[in-house]
Amino acid sequence: MKRYEPPAGWAVQAYKFALDPTEAQVGGLRRNTGAARFAYNHMLRRTCAVKAQRAAEVSYDVAEADLTPWQGWSLPDLRRTWNEAKQWVAPWWHECSKEAYNTGLANLSAALGNWHASRTGARKGRRMGWPRPKRKHARRSARFTTGAIRLDPDNRHVVLPRLGRIRSHESTRKLSRRVQAGTAKILSATVTEAAGRWFCSFQVAVRRTVGRPTHAPRSGRVVGVDVGIKRLAVLSTGEMVPNPAPFTAALKKLAKAQRRAARKVGPYDPVAKRKRTPSNRWCRAQATVARLHGTAQAVRADSWHQLTTRLAQQFDTVVVEDLHVAGMVRNRKLARSLTDAAPATLRRHLAYKAGWYGATLHIADRWYPSSKTCSGCQTVKPKLSLAERTFDCTACDLSLDRDVNAARNLAALVRHVDLELPGDAKTGRGACVRPVRPAPAGRAVGREASRPVQPVNVVRQRTAADHALSNA
């Protein structure tokens, strides 16, 4: 599927609304999402059958020209094959929207393409395996790109193809005003089910006027942000944002709900070692567990959205670290707390919110020893354990919180960049995202930096120690 490229001055944005469908509408939503899963699994089985057939023919020394033709992996090829076979494999196909089947075929095309790119080395990261069939009780989703996709004038309903008018749990006025003013255009709508609730996400092309809102005055030009576990983030201004830790707060309720679910008759019989029909009580118990997980996820997302929006609105320049979260999670003692805090969310949110409000996002080098460096005299400690929560400098007798010291070091990295920013970044007409690699005073060792940083020409702010040395 070709990716939509917005025109100049426009950006692609998502608006997500919770739905309150009726029982009949829930049945329609499940039929369409189930149709997407059925089309995905059927074409995956066909692709696997063709692959196995060709392998068998090759083992019998069949000529290349006589082999069974490959099943195309592109979306047009998959759609063409599906349209030829749907009359026999899915005689009920007319009960669902064509966009539901297209959703499953598009997902399969992307999965097969990613597998091939990973196998040939064109895709970075961990090697991907062959796509697996989608389970019946997995995450339900369907995407609509054509047909009647709009918001009702009363701002309390959404209209989707073959599903009709569905009431929204919250007002859609925020998006409706943009659509009516001509500054937004709905491209597609995706319905999903999470923790027993249905949501509708609109992909919208929005014309944005980059700038700072009037209700968010500037409170500083540069701010360094150090993320953590006990605190969600610590700013160079001294502010410490508390971490709600929603998963940790729900552990007792979650353990109780999971114990109840374990006592119910589930979909697998461990004695007979075969599948069975789960009981209604098991389904209700699993729904309770899913709701607890959904609540924790919603609280975590709300905390990060509030923080990142405030940073992008109130500051001209935001400096964050390039954290290797995947490596940090390997520590089994910190894995649960790190996953609950989700520190990588800060950079992901600021990457696009900085462009909305005319801020500049800088990313410090991964190996920069922000916690080991003194923010007063720039002396680098050779070792700093995680148990030391207060930074005590032996050179200038500075003593302050470890995270505040790291945030101040991050903010000091780019104070010289104001003279080098391009014109668009100075006037706030877009975000400037750039890496920052400082030149340390010496080789930093230990947990935070395990290899030396190549020195680059970076002008840092002159401290009192620098003035004393120059005057001596």
Share of the chain above pLDDT 70, in %: 85
Nearest CA to 200 out of 343, 24, 446, 16 is that of: 16
Per-residue tokens: 240: 């410490």
- Looking at the structure of the chain, the number of domains it has is 3
pLDDT value at position 419? 36
pLDDT value at position 456? 28
99, 193, 316, 403: which is the annotated catalytic residue? Answer: 403
Residues 361 and 437 in one domain: yes
Residues 304 and 400 in one domain: yes
321 given a catalytic annotation:
yes
269 given a catalytic annotation:
no
What CA–CA distance (Å, rounded) separates 67 from 57?
7
Model pTM?
0.79
Residues 311 and 411 in one domain: yes
Residues 383 and 426 in one domain: yes
State which of 157, 175, 207 marks the end of a domain. 207
Residues in Cβ contact with 284 at an 8 Å cutoff, skipping those fewer than 6 apart: none
321, 340, 365, 448: which is the annotated catalytic residue? Answer: 321
Lowest-confidence segment of 168-182, 195-209, 286-300, 371-385 by average pLDDT? 371-385
Question: Domain span at residue 388?
Answer: 220-471
226, 340, 365, 448: which is the annotated catalytic residue? Answer: 226
- pLDDT tens by residue, 362-414: 998 888 888 888 888 888 888 888 777 888 887 888 888 888 888 888 888 88
Greater confidence (397 vs 468) lies with 397
What CA–CA distance (Å, rounded) separates 269 from 247?
30
- pLDDT tens by residue, 416-437: 444 343 333 333 334 445 555 5
What residue type is assigned to position 178 of the chain? R
Residues 389 and 432 in one domain: yes
In this prediction, residue 444 has a pLDDT band, given cuts at 50, 70 and 90, of very low
**Mean pLDDT, residues 437-448 taken together:** 42
**Mean pLDDT, residues 157-186 taken together:** 93
pLDDT at 445 over 50: no
Residues 200 and 234 in one domain: no
Residues 74 and 185 in one domain: no
pLDDT value at position 188? 94
Q: Is there a contact between 329 and 336 (Cβ–Cβ < 8 Å)?
A: no
Residues 342 and 460 in one domain: yes
Residues 148 and 110 in one domain: no
Return the top range by mean pLDDT from 24-33, 264-273, 436-445: 24-33
**Mean pLDDT, residues 234-254 taken together:** 92
Per-residue tokens: 48: 């696997």
Return the top range by mean pLDDT from 128-137, 165-174, 410-419: 165-174
Nearest CA to 19 out of 178, 145, 171, 179 is that of: 171
- pLDDT tens by residue, 55-88: 999 998 888 888 889 899 999 999 999 999 999 9
DSSP conformation class of 14: E
Residues 181 and 41 in one domain: no
The verdict on residue 249 lying in a domain is yes
20 given a catalytic annotation:
no
**Mean pLDDT, residues 268-278 taken together:** 88
